[in-house]
Structure 1
Amino acid sequence: MTRDTFAPPRIVGEQRADGSVLLRPTEPLGAHAEHLGQELRRYAEQTPDAVLVTEPSPDGRRALTYGDAWATAEALAQGLLERGARPDRPVMLLSGNSLEHLQLTLACYLAGVPAVPASVAYSRATSDHAQLRAMAELVRPGVVFAADPRQFGPALDAVRDTTPDVHETVVRGGRPGATTFEELARTVAGAEAASAYAAITPDTVAKILFTSGSTGRPKGVLTTQRMLTSNQQMMRQAWPFLAGEPPVLVDWLPWSHTFGGSHNVGMALTNGGTIHVDSGRPAPELFEHTIAALREIAPTIYVNVPAGYAMLVPRLEADPGLARHFFSRLRLLFYAAAALPEALWDRLERLAERHADHEVPCTSSWGTTETAPAATSAHWGGARCGCIGVPLPGVTLKLVPTEDKREIRIAGPSVTPGYLNRPDFTAAAFDEEGFYRTGDAVVLVDDVDPNQGLMFDGRIAEDFKLTTGTWVSVATLRTRLLSAAQVLSDAVLAGHDRNEVTALAWLNIAESRLVCGLPPDADVPRDHPVLRKHLAAALAEVGAGAGSAGRIARLLLCAEPPDLDAGEITDKGYLNQRRVLRRRRDLVERLYRDVPDAEVIAAANNRS
């Protein structure tokens, strides 16, 4: 099955005199739609009764077909234009994944108006809405939508207070002075919408996605129609089975970020597939929603972040019936946003071997919001854990020596033209040849054969030096820790200008219960002696035979989970190391006391 799933890579490399390396595929990028509105129209005409999206409801699942999606999007597009939405006055979406959210996004695609999905955390998990106000001030929305006017009332007020003269509010249900979604959807499509649709070009801005990356200030990334359609064509050429098998996804990843909203929704829309909204996420209080969705629906492509797989794997191991259903028609397991620990990779492979009657490869890719998002893909069988693959058709990579690493830079049709109203950010983002500077580092698996792919080597800005002058590769060491420990959901490393590396970490409760021999519903005390002994041994395993930059001397388990609103964790599921260390500097200082307190865990061979 792997032969049918993947197209083998054919990559050529060019070594330059300045030490940089160019990598590009020999296969050209194939033809693709000019904009996503054309894809929606195509499937509305060819398969009008096929389901585009479903979401949980009290009565089961609400569904939206391609035919209904097209008809509603036409009406909504006319309604948005009548209410003042324009290319320079976008539609801001404050609430999370839902049928209405997607329908309004599709309407924006038909109207040539940018959609601006905002992280739900900026609307609900905050008191001052400072981030949301800053976004509204920058984009000056023509229309603002929220599904629930009660839950999102303060956020709607904050946006209106910030830009009182530029937008109309649309809600599902009722709010004084607001237009209901239902009313907007009853608009009769007319000449204005038809004219706007005819004017759409590949350079039309489809979305403005806000990102701060892992370290920088938030920026509005201009995402054009060409970026989205070319990126989906790249994935079709890497995964050729998509041409004949409309994908089925069960997905929680938020549409306010590129992984969920551009990659996953785009994959369903471009290939006539279905995306089933999972109302859960990798958090103890919400993960049962994910399990419930997977019991009901067997995906053909499963996409998640490593934290999600860390919670899913023990459930699959403990429930053979769930595992058999999960793997029954699965083509591949796909992860991104952070490195997958090798131990978790191995367990996924064992589960597939045990419960699937066909081969189910585990694969990854790499990209950024600015690349729409996929720039590389490991589209071949047997790729190593941690391999992010090779450049996709249409993409050229430049590996540039930066200190003791190689920064990966990218050029191609899926790269952003820049940032909204920030020419300074735009200028700084591109080098003298027009390659986008990602700030990520990679290493070639094989310096001679680029078809063996690239290994992610961390964020250059996250790596740090010890007082010995040696660099710590944060991504590599963090992944080794998670793989050795298995009971940790995530960790950040400290040690800048210190003489040793330490870690702040969070427990994976399900795995911790197994290690400690506790019942399925039991709490796991952070001072449990079996847990502490296990983690001390894991620290020793990580540091065995390594120098100071390859050892983690001490570890402290955090009681407070990472705070999305404080910027410690993104909706894509990865930790912002600098933000965590800055916000929890008191915990970091505890790790470096001459005599550590009782909660600090030291490596088994280093009881200091």
Structure 2
Amino acid sequence: MSPLSLDLSPDLFPALTEAQADPDGPGAHRPALHFGDRSLTYGELAATASPLAARVAEAGRIAVWATPTLETAVAVVAALLAGVPAVPLNPKSGESELGHIVSDSAPTLVLAAPGTQLPPALAALERLDIDTSAPTTSLPSPGAPDPESPALIVYTSGTTGPPKGAVIPRRAIATTLDALADAWQWTGDDVLVHGLPLFHVHGLILGILGPLRRGGSVRHLGRFETAGVARELSEGATMLFGVPTMYHRIAETLPDDPALAKALARARLLVSGSAALPVHDHERIAQATGRRVIERYGMTETLMNTSVRADGEPRAGTVGVPLPGVELRLTEEDGTTAVEAYDGETVGEIQVRGPNLFTEYLNRPEATAAAFTEDGWFRTGDMAVRDPDGYVRIVGRKATDLIKSGGYKIGAGEIENALLEHPGVREAAVTGEPDADLGERIVAWIVPADPQSPPTVDELADHVARRLAPHKRPRVVHHLDALPRNDMGKIMKRALTHD
């Protein structure tokens, strides 16, 4: 592992600064952003974003209507140049959620693409349309923000109450992107393709700001489709970012699409995140392309914590090792006693500490205090085990995926992966329910591959017992047409009911 030099200067985008200083230089003509048939070079991005930065410099805080468009990328870059905190808004949010976010974050402006119809929840905000037609000259960027100053306020999914605004400082963005550059050998020569939404960490910070910090380029598909992935990777893209639902579609398409298999085989790096990628999909993609998907682990409050390294073993079912600069420990249920075992079996809660962390939950001092231990570790709520070589394997969320059955602590994630290896299972989720004898019994929620002939509970129990251990077998099986998922493809287990 190479040492990491953390650049905490206010300049998040050196290539953009260079293009701004020398509009006729070679760096200014390098491609930066590409959305469909629209694109901007670094020179054009500087000339487009810097006037917008000057206009919003005194705004205090701005909202960005974060559609998957060139305008969203320009707006966020402009806010970062101006040192003004930006609040990315999910265009699919309902009125109640949007109203809460606007009230909580109190932006003075909302930036949107021209012609976009905004919902009533934003009606009281002054609107500023984003002009992506570059003027003839760029303006100097206002100020030189402190590394600790807020860059983005990204709202959590709100699974346990109203969404909370995680205040992400410039320091966290810079250190996370530089740590990923170290882990993934990410350079300005890389061309990233993705089709992720732009209102969260994965799509916006990693997928847009990441290439810009490296001086490389990004080709956004607008909307994910396997044909777009094949086209861009065949035409020079070197990296693909996706979530498990996207890679599942890729795995399903590969047997009948040799062009897609050939394109993926050319990629330097295939990265999955935001949820666990089933081992079955890992293996299908590797078998068809010769390329293995690597996984990383992060969350809104921490940005990225771990990753399988580009020069490491791309082991399916793991999220790799802690990134440079990130401390990671597992703890017992008391939240303070460290789990020392590296045996691949002992479950503990992940806690992290490092420069990648958020500053606070906006307007929530109590929630902020509760999220950290007294000695500064952030409680992620994710449960994991560590293999002997330090690789981390996440087994689920503490609130929904830790099942205590028969005296054992069991992670739902490993059972889900085992179920997905059964040929009769298309999708799987695992939860626990009260049991008078066991404490909790394991419940499997299955989308069968053939609805007319679904696998039985005995068949699945034997399958899991053979692969894992008898105490990890499901005792109850429910068959569904589909699993409830959010916009990022994560299964919403709280929506699974026994009625």
TM-score class normalised by the smaller sequence: 0.7 to 0.9
1:277 is the counterpart of 2:240: no
1:382 aligns with 2:313: yes
State the match for 1:392 in structure 2: 323
For residue 335 of structure 1, what is the aligned residue in structure 2? 272
Counterpart residue number, 1:221: 166
Secondary structure of 1:48 counterpart: helix
For the Cα contact (< 8 Å) 1:32–1:233, is it kept in 2? no
CA contact (8 A) 2:272 2:295 kept: yes
- What is residue 350 of structure 1 aligned with on the other side? 287
Equivalent of 2:59 in 74, 79, 85: 85
Q: Among residues 104, 121, 124, which one is paired with 1:138 in the alignment?
A: 104
Give, in angstroms, the shift of residue 572 of structure 1: 2.8
Per the TM alignment, residue 214 of structure 1 is displaced from its structure 2 partner at its CA by 5.4
Q: 1-side partners of 2:397 and 2:473: how far apart?
A: 19
For the 8 Å contact 1:505–1:555, the answer to whether it is kept is yes
Verify: 1:67 aligned to 2:43, yes or no.
yes
Question: Residue by residue, what CA displacement relative to the aligned partner does 1:231-256 show, whole Å, maximum 9, x if unpaired?
Answer: 1111122233x23x522122111121
Amino acid at match of 1:492: A
Q: Of 224, 236, 241, which aligns to 2:181? A: 236
Q: 1:556 aligns with which of 468, 478, 493?
A: 478
Task: Assess, with a 3 A threshold, how the Cα gap between structure 1 residues 217 and 535 changes in structure 2: closer, same or farther.
Answer: same
Instruction: Please state how far the C-alpha of 1:182 moved relative to its aligned partner.
Output: 3.4
Residues 38-77 of structure 1: CA distance to partner in whole angstroms, max 9, x if unpaired?
4521355451111111112xxxx11111111011111111
Deviation for aligned residue 1:290: 4.3
Asked if structure 1 preserves the Cα contact closer than 8 Å seen for 2:401 and 2:431, the reply is no
Decide whether aligned partners of structure 1 residues 289 and 321 sit closer, same or farther in structure 2, where only a CA change above 3 A counts.
Answer: closer
Determine helix, strand or coil for the equivalent of 2:430: strand
Q: CA–CA distance in 2 between the matches of 1:213 and 1:297?
A: 39
Q: Which runs of 5+ in 1 are unaligned?
A: 1-7, 10-26, 171-179, 282-286, 354-359, 513-525, 563-567, 590-608
- Partners in 2 of 1:326 and 1:183 — Cα distance? 32
Distance 1:496 1:487, change over 3 A: closer
CA displacement at 1:108 relative to structure 2: 0.2
Aligned partner of 2:451 in structure 1 is: 527
Match of 2:191 in 1: 248
Structure 2 distance, partners of 1:484, 1:545, is 11
Decide whether the 8 Å contact of 2:361 with 2:367 is kept in 1: yes
Residue 17 (structure 2) aligns with: 41
Question: Can you list the C-alpha shifts for 1:184-242, whole angstroms capped at 9, x where unaligned?
Answer: 9779976xx74xx32311112111100137545411011111111111111122233x2
Mapping for residues 395-474 of structure 1, pairs under 5 Å: 395-402=326-333, 405-446=347-388, 449-450=389-390, 453-465=391-403, 468=406, 470-474=408-412
**Matches of 1:70 and 1:495, distance apart in 2:** 53
Hey, what's the Cα distance between the residues in 2 that align with 1:552 and 1:454? 24
Q: One-letter code of the match for 2:428?
A: A
Q: SS in structure 2 opposite 1:198?
A: coil
Q: State the shift of 1:430 in Å.
A: 1.0
Note if contact 2:457-2:475 (Cα within 8 Å) is conserved in structure 1.
no
Give the deviation of 1:463 after TM superposition.
2.9
Aligned pair in 2 of structure 1 residues 144, 505: CA closer, same or farther (>3 Å)? farther
**What is the alpha-carbon distance in structure 1 between the residues aligned to residue 162 and residue 471 of structure 2?**
29
Deviation per CA, 1:476-518, whole angstroms, max 9, x where unpaired? 2122222334752x433233214642233446xxxx4xxxxxx
Corresponding residue to 1:106 among 77, 95, 105: 77
**2-structure distance, mates of 1:318, 1:463:** 35
* 553 and 33 in structure 1: CA distance in 2 versus 1, 3 angstrom threshold: same
Query: 1:37 and 1:291 mapped to 2: Cα distance?
Result: 26
How far is 1:37 from its partner? 4.6
Q: Is the 8 A contact 1:501 1:554 kept in 2?
A: yes
TM-superposed deviation, 1:473? 1.5
Partners of 1:294 and 1:326 within 8 A in 2: no
- Aligned mates of 1:145, 1:549 — CA distance in 2: 53
1:28 CA displacement:
4.8
Instruction: Confirm or deny: 8 A CA contact 2:15 2:42 kept in the other structure.
Output: no
Taking structure 1 as the reference length, the TM-score comes to: 0.72
TM-score (norm 2): 0.87
**C-alpha distance in 1, partners of 2:282/2:233?**
22
Equivalent in 40, 55, 60 of residue 35 of structure 2: 55
Amino acid at match of 1:318: D
The answer to whether the 8 Å contact 2:169/2:358 transfers is yes
Higher helix fraction (1 or 2): 1
Report SS of the residue matched to 2:237.
Answer: coil
Residue 118 (structure 2) pairs with residue 169 (structure 1): no
Aligned to 2:295: 364
Q: Structure 2 counterpart of 1:48, which letter?
A: A
Paired with 1:408 and 1:97, the residues of 2 have a C-alpha distance of 32
Written as runs of structure 1 = structure 2, the 5 A alignment for 1:190-339 is 194=141, 197-212=142-157, 215=160, 217-240=162-185, 242-243=186-187, 245-281=188-224, 287=225, 290=228, 294=232, 297-328=235-266, 330-339=267-276
What is the distance in 1 between the residues matched to 2:329 and 2:468? 31
Q: 1:221 to 1:400 in 2, by over 3 A?
A: same
Q: Which of 1 and 2 has higher RCO (CA within 8 Å, sep 6+)? A: 1
Provide the secondary structure at the position in 2 that maps to 1:97.
coil
Residue-by-residue CA offset, 1:103-126 (whole Å, 9 max, x unaligned) = 11111011111111111211xxx4
Q: Displacement of 1:543 after TM fit?
A: 3.6
How far 1:576 sits from its partner (Å)?
2.8
Q: What RMSD in Å do the two structures reach over aligned CA positions?
A: 3.0
Corresponding letter in the other structure for 1:333: L
Tell me: CA distance 1:289–1:215, structure 2 relative to 1, closer, same or farther (3 Å).
Answer: farther
Equivalent position SS for 1:456: strand
Check the 8 A contact 1:500/1:548 in 2, yes or no: no
Structure 1 residue identity aligned to 2:397: R
Once residues 475 and 136 of structure 2 are traced to their aligned partners in structure 1, the CA distance between those partners, rounded to angstroms, is 64
Q: Distance in 1 between matches of 2:170 and 2:67?
A: 22
Question: Which string of whole-angstrom CA distances, capped at 9 and with x for unpartnered residues, describes residues 355-386 of structure 1?
Answer: xxxxx443222111112x21112214334212
Amino acid at match of 1:389: G
Q: Deviations over 1:271-303 (max 9, x none)?
A: 12221112324xxxxx46645755764531112
For each residue in 1:316-363, what CA deviation from the matched residue of structure 2 results, as whole angstroms up to 9, or x when unmatched? 2211123213322x112211122222222122221233xxxxxx4432
Contact 2:308/2:320 (8 A) holds in 1: yes
Residue identity matched to 1:324? K
Question: Which of these two proteins has the greater Rg computed from alpha carbons?
Answer: 1
> Which secondary structure state, in structure 2, belongs to the residue aligned with residue 402 of structure 1?
coil
Q: Which deviates the most, 66-75 or 197-206?
A: 197-206
Whether 2:419 is the aligned partner of 1:481: answer yes
> CA 1:189–1:535 in 2, change beyond 3 Å: closer, same or farther?
farther
Equivalent pairs counted in the alignment come to: 479
Deviation at 1:311, TM superposition (A): 0.7
C-alpha distance in structure 2 between counterparts of 1:497 and 1:547, whole Å: 20
